[in-house]
Structure 1
Amino acid sequence: MEHAKNPPVESPYFTAAEAAAYLRLEESTLNAMRWRKEGPNWRKHGGKVVYHRDALDRWSRGRDSDPTVRNEPGANEDGDGARS
């Protein structure tokens, strides 16, 4: 009698490699950010670092740039493009 394989479990928890791919980062970048306490919130499950999808989304949303601020070459601190 042959045993059927269990279908993969749809999990909201990502490994570091999966989380990095989700965020379009290198895994080494995500790991370095974790050590510097700059990256998304993470957990340990059985000694393995995992990231919850909601934490990744929340962290990414916090990285939104302000569309009213322009960082153009030659722009002064006022952002009007005039040279000081």
Structure 2
Amino acid sequence: MTDDAETRAQAAREVCPFLTAKQTAFHLGISADTLRGMRLAGKGPKARRHGHNWRYHIDDIEEWSLARSGGEGDV
């Protein structure tokens, strides 16, 4: 994770650790539709439903992302 991403993640933890699907998708560098498809397939980061909205905890996002950082396909 880059220093900038670490700084953003720490700020999110301090202010509000739950991100919307749109914020989560932006953080991961994917589209909201891709994130939704991953959630429906059970392959994305852990999500929680708060009312009618899905929320992602920053720690779950980071854990999920780090678990997939095997380097395959990276330049």
- Provide TM-score, normalisation by structure 1: 0.65
Q: Distance in 2 between matches of 1:49 and 1:26?
A: 15
Find the partner of 2:43 among 28, 35, 38: 38
Q: Distance in 2 between matches of 1:12 and 1:65?
A: 26
Larger Rg: 1
Structure 1 equivalent of residue 62 of structure 2: 57
Structure 2 equivalent of residue 26 of structure 1: 31
1:8-60 per-position Cα deviation (integer Å, ceiling 9, x unaligned): xx211111000000111111000000000000000011121000000000000
Q: How many residues align?
A: 60
Is residue 2:16 matched to residue 1:11? yes
Q: Distance in 2 between matches of 1:21 and 1:46?
A: 22
RMSD (CA atoms): 1.9
Q: Distance in 2 between matches of 1:53 and 1:17?
A: 13
Structure 2 equivalent of residue 78 of structure 1: none
Give the Å deviation of 1:64: 1.3
- Any unmatched runs of 5+ in structure 2? 1-14
Task: Name whichever structure is richer in helix by fraction.
Answer: 2
Higher-RCO chain (CA-CA 8 Å, sequence separation at least 6) = 2
- Any unmatched runs of 5+ in structure 1? 1-9, 72-84
Flag as ranges the 4+ runs of structure 1 deviating above 4 A.
none
Q: What is the aligned-residue identity percentage? A: 34
